[in-house]
Amino acid sequence: MNALRALASAVDAVNEGIGRAVSWLALILVIVQFAIVLMRYVYGIGAIAVQESILIMHGVLFLVASGYALLYDAHVRVDVFYGEAKARKKAMIDLIGCIVFLAPFIYVIWSVAYPYVASSWAVMESSNETSGLPGIYLFKTTILAFTVLVGMQGLALALRSILVIAGIDDTNKSRTGGAA
C-alpha cells in the first residue's frame, strides 16, 4: 500500500511542478494583452503573431494546468451527494467518478485528438495567416498533454480513494486540506 501512496505522491509532484510553471502564463498573457492594446490603440500598430500568441497561451494555460486543478480539487463538482459525506463515502464517489466518468472521457479525448495532432505534425502545421505563428502543431500537442496529465491525476485520486476505502488512510484530503 505504500507503493500506491508513493505513486500517487509522485503524480501529485509532477502536476504540482507543471501547474506552478504554467501558471506564470497567466501573468505573461495579461502583459502581452496589455501590450497589444497599447500597440493598436496608442501607436496604431498590429501584429497577428502577437495576437495569436494570446490564444495559444490561453489554451496552454487551461489544457496543461488541468491536472493541477484536479490535484487541488478545483474542477466543478455537484455536491448533492458529496458535500456533507464522510471521508469513506467521498472516496467511493471519487473512485466511481474516476472509473465511470474521467477514464472514458480521457480515452475519448485521446482517441479523437491523436489523429488530429498527428496530421498536424505530419505537415508541421503553422498559422493560416501569412505573418502568423509557426509551430501550431506544438500547440495542438497540448491536447494530448492534457489527457496524460489529467489521466495521471485521476489515477492518483483513484489510488488515494482506494486507500481510504480500504481503511488504510482515515481521510481523503486533497493537498489544500479539503475533501478530494
- The model's pLDDT over 162-172, given as tens digits with 9 standing for 90+, comes to 999 998 876 55
How buried is residue 17: exposed, middle or buried, by Cβ count under 10 Å (0-12/13-18/19+)?
Answer: exposed
R_g of the chain, CA atoms, integer Å: 20
- The model's pLDDT over 78-123, given as tens digits with 9 standing for 90+, comes to 677 787 889 899 999 999 999 999 999 999 999 999 999 999 999 9
